Amino acid sequence: MSVLREKLENSNDVVFTAEFPSVDGGGMASVERNAARLAPWFDAVNATDNPAAHAHTSNTTTAIAMKMYGLEPIMQIVCRDKNRLAIQSDMMGASLHGITNLSLLTGDDVTAGDEPEARRVFDIDSAQAINIARILGEGKYLSGRPIKPAPDFYLGAVENAAAPPFDYRIQRALKKYRAGAKFLQLQICFHPDRLEAFCKGVAEVAPDLKLIPTVVLVKGAKGLGFMNDKVPGIDVPVSFLARVQKASDPSVEVIKLTLELARHALTLPGVRGLHITDFRHDDSLDSFMNDLGRTPKRQTTNR
Amino acid sequence: MLKKLLPFVEHALKAPVWDCRMCGQCVLHSTGMTCPMTCPKTLRNGPCGGVRENGHCEVIPEMQCIWVKAYDRTISLPLPKVWKQHYNELRPPVDMQLQGTSSWVNLVTKRDQQVPGGWSVQGSEH
Ligand code: SF4
């Protein structure tokens, strides 16, 4: 059962998703700790797949561990590290363990990571990966070999509403929707006007596609500057940078700014939730969620 | 004989203009006459989310993203309307068996239209 699917498809509830911290040692205790911190606030949490081209504990095993501690995973699969065979076995492995939510991404290039000498795979791209997941869900491998019974997937993808070519991003969302994506988690976006144009455009061409924009919690101007300079595809307007820099308490101001972005995003057509990336790792997550009007869920663990 | 010769001829003609990588299943017509195999991620359905603010590539910052270029050219070049409409089509995964063969031969024999047995596309524009 996917709570995410249930909420997005059969209710009007707003959903909240987040990123599970990458696991590098620390064992199940670290998973338990992080699950306990995130579970009260989020409907589903992304199990990432070597984010920013850094090796970590695998997507599938992280997703399984999260599930053990009562957190619903959205298992990401990126196209950078695996060919089409390995990607299909990732999907089937997820299904074996009752993982329903998949999110298919292109992935950052190997040069973004700490092992730039690695071979980049990109045997298939994200739109093809979504289509292949849909085909598995209809009871066939890509080759046509039958799968009985077919795995049950709820498919998602990622799109960058704020990167060029701006007007094509709407068409690209439509392409992913046609391939089988039911929800889109959007890249971090600091341009409310671009986000608005994108959401309006998507709501017109694919009204059933559920949009989940992302906001990010950073510590201050330095964090904003880092994303602007170091993360391709993310642009932070100078006015935002200046506002945070000049504030008497940048750490408070940046949260105020993020709240404004979050509230604006939630008013846009097609938007059904919010994805929160937390780079602060302090207690500001709780107050941020409170300010957004969320009340923490009571925790249930099914081990 | 011709089968052996054609890949050389095709490469000699297409490499200088389009930086052709001889994938053997040419889609230039649907990508504004821009070769997607020159994208560092070899995306057939680009662009990725890493395109920089100036329209340049995530991986090679001094190069314009080839999918941005493809989009601009699809809009601005006087190409047949159907080619333009094909821009947002879901292109199937590359058939690695065709690497190094002539896409001209594969076009005539329709070999380049063969897709894996399970592949299907839903809700296309045509
Ligand atoms: S920015 Fe463009 S050219 Fe560069 S990897 Fe992404 S899609 Fe390919």
pLDDT on residue A52? 95
Q: What is the ipTM of this complex?
A: 0.91
- In chain B, residues with a C-beta closer than 8 Å to the C-beta of A178 are 90, 121-124
Nearest ligand 1 atom to the CA of B52 is 1
How many contacts, defined by CB atoms under 8 Å, are there between A and B?
118
pLDDT reading at B20 higher than 60: yes
Q: Report the pLDDT value the prediction gives residue A303, as an integer from 0 to 100.
A: 45
Residue A264 φ/ψ, nearest 5 degrees? -65, -45
The structure's pTM equals 0.94
What residues does ligand 1 touch, defined as CB less than 6 Å away? Answer: B 39-41, 43, 46-48, 50-51, 57-59, 65-67
Q: What token pair was written down for B62?
A: 């001094």
Q: What pLDDT, on a 0 to 100 scale, did the predictor assign at position B31? A: 85
Give the pLDDT of residue B71: 93
DSSP letter, residue B123:
S
With a cut of 90, say whether residue B2 has pLDDT above it: no
- The minimum-distance atom of ligand 1 relative to the CA of B67 is 2
Q: Which of A84, A91, A168 is best to mutate for the B interface (most B CBs within 10 A)?
A: A168
Return the best residue to mutate from B57, B64, B71, B73 for the ligand 1 pocket (most ligand atoms within 8 A of CB): B57
Query: What pLDDT is attached to residue A193?
Result: 97
Ligand 1 centroid distance, CA of A123 (Å): 15
CA nearest ligand 1 atom 1, residue: B57
The predicted structure's pLDDT at residue B125? 54
Q: Which residue(s) pair with A75 in the sheet?
A: A47, A102
What ranges do the domains of chain A cover?
3-219+268-290
List the single residue in B with minimal CA-CA distance to A180: B122
| Per-run averaged pLDDT (10 residues), chain A, 303 residues | 95 96 95 96 98 97 98 98 98 98 97 96 98 98 98 98 95 97 97 98 97 96 93 93 95 96 98 96 90 82 48
Residue A221 near residue A252 (C-beta atoms within 8 A): no
The residue-averaged pLDDT of B45-49 equals: 95
CA of A57 to the centre of ligand 1 (A): 27
Which residues from chain A sit within 8 angstroms of residue B65, using beta carbons? 164
Distance between CA A165 and CA B58 in Å, rounded? 14
pLDDT of residue A104: 98
DSSP A181-237: --EEEEEE---HHHHHHHHHHHHHH-TTPEEEEEEEE-SSHHHHHHHHHHSTT----
The string of pLDDT tens digits covering residues B82-125 is 888 888 999 999 999 888 888 888 888 888 888 999 999 997 65
For residue B42, which residues of chain A lie inside 8 Å, CB to CB?
Answer: 122
Burial class (CB in 10 A: 0-12, 13-18, 19+), A24: exposed
With the C-alpha atoms ordered A161, A48, A95, A303, is the resulting torsion angle positive or negative?
Answer: negative
Between chains, do A144 and B122 touch, taking CB under 8 Å as contact? no
Element (H, E) at A273: strand A273-278
What pLDDT does B102 receive?
87
Q: From CA A234, how far away is CA B49, in angstroms rounded?
A: 9
Q: How far apart are CA A103 and CA A48, in angstroms?
A: 9
Q: How far apart are CA B10 and CA B7, in angstroms?
A: 5
Which of B45, B93, B117 shows the shortest C-beta gap to A123? B93
| Beta-carbon-side half-sphere exposure of residue A267 (alpha carbons within 13 Å) | 9
User: Which residues does A contribute to its contact with B (CB < 8 Å)?
Assistant: 79-80, 84, 106, 108-109, 111-112, 120, 122-128, 131, 134-135, 140-145, 158-160, 163-165, 168, 171-172, 174-175, 178-180, 187, 232-233, 235
Of A144, A163, A233, the CB nearest to B116: A144
* pLDDT for the residue numbered A218: 94
Confidence at B11, pLDDT banded by 50, 70, 90: confident
Class for the domain spanning A3-219+268-290: alpha beta
Distance of residue B71 Cα from the nearest chain A Cα, in angstroms: 8
Nearest CA to ligand 1 atom 7: B47
